[in-house]
Amino acid sequence: MDKLIVSLDVDDFFQAARLIDILSPKVNIFKVGIAPYVNFGEQLLDKLRSLDKQVFLDLKFHDIPNTVKNAAKAAAQKGVFMMNFHCLGGSRMLEAAVAGVHEANISPMPLLIGVTILTSMGIEDMKDIGLSGAIHDRIISLANIAKKSGLNGVVASAKEAKIIKDQVGQDFVVVTPGIRPAWSVAGKEDQKRVLTPKQAVTEGADYIVVGRPIVKAEDPLAAATKIIAELESNN
């Protein structure tokens, strides 16, 4: 199974298209986030479909249930591999999202992933928005809501992957952003809870999302190849 997802968080379509062409020999899953989707999303999806690549549509839907249902249906009809929803929208919203995807009647169905606590957030950030308690307790609570609502998994820090698997289920998918290879010159930047690729999969991550360490590397293909080799190593 492909575990690496490369984040196409770049400024223009031509830069994104160039990266896709460079990485295509090794990378099969690409993440399209909010900014690139707003700027040139349809061009980007067309490009990825033309190369038979899989798309993680990272728009983090969070709205009233009917609006999210319609958005999820529309996203599924674009043939994406994975999409996500803020768990803080509640079970009714998440259940509506699942219903929207079923209405799209697409086979295979995309993976539906809940966003728990953003990896940019620490305990003080949680307090600011009225969330109390330990981060991992809140994440487990949200992951359980996601599973009961019919989602396939969650986005969470690799540091919470093992506990999610243990308490929610081994078949519950964990997608981990904030991944930084030890050799990467890219620092943590706005991520607070990070691990290396190998550490992430050892903790139970099913997919890892890598952006800057690949996108900003002098040789993106070499960087991606190095990460894939690390993921596949037994050491």
Encode pLDDT of 135-145 as tens digits.
788 889 999 99
Provide the pLDDT confidence category of residue 149 given band limits of 50, 70 and 90.
very high
Q: Which token pair is 231? A: 């993921």
**Range among 47-61, 153-167, 176-190 with highest mean pLDDT value:** 47-61
Q: Is the pLDDT of residue 232 over 90?
A: no
Q: Is the pLDDT of residue 229 over 50?
A: yes
Distance between CA atoms of residues 154 and 8, nearest Å: 20
Per-residue pLDDT reduced to its tens digit, 26-79: 999 999 999 999 999 999 999 999 999 999 999 999 999 999 999 999 999 999
Least confident of 18-32, 48-62, 190-204, 221-235: 190-204
Least confident of 59-68, 113-122, 146-155: 113-122
Top pLDDT among 184 and 36 is at 36
Q: Is the pLDDT of residue 220 over 70?
A: yes
Q: What percent of the chain has pLDDT over 70?
A: 94
DSSP state of 193: S
Distance between CA atoms of residues 41 and 33, nearest Å: 9
Distance between CA atoms of residues 93 and 175, nearest Å: 20
For 108, counting Cβ atoms within 10 Å of its Cβ (0-12 exposed, 13-18 middle, 19+ buried), the class is exposed
Query: Can you state the percent helix, strand and coil of the chain, rounding each to 5?
Result: 50, 15, 35
Q: Is the pLDDT of residue 148 over 70?
A: yes
* Average pLDDT, rounded, for the chain: 91
Distance between CA atoms of residues 148 and 126, nearest Å: 24
- pLDDT for position 193: 47
- pLDDT for position 155: 94
For the entire predicted model, the pTM comes to 0.91
Contact predicate 181/197, CB 8 Å: yes
Distance between CA atoms of residues 118 and 223, nearest Å: 25
Distance between CA atoms of residues 160 and 156, nearest Å: 7
For 128, counting Cβ atoms within 10 Å of its Cβ (0-12 exposed, 13-18 middle, 19+ buried), the class is exposed
- pLDDT for position 97: 98
- pLDDT for position 235: 55
Provide the pLDDT confidence category of residue 126 given band limits of 50, 70 and 90.
confident
Q: Domain 4-232 - what CATH class?
A: alpha beta
- pLDDT for position 166: 95
Residues annotated as part of the active site: 60
What Cα–Cα distance (Å) separates residue 222 from each residue in 13, 37, 52, 100, 151?
Answer: 22, 26, 22, 39, 34
Distance between CA atoms of residues 124 and 98, nearest Å: 32
Q: Is the pLDDT of residue 189 over 70?
A: no
E strands of the chain, at which residues?
4-7, 29-33, 54-61, 82-86, 111-115, 153-155, 173-176, 207-210
- Burial per residue of 50-76, b for 16 or more beta-carbon CB atoms within 10 angstroms, e otherwise: eeebbbbbbbbbbbebeebbbbbbebb
Distance between CA atoms of residues 82 and 56, nearest Å: 4
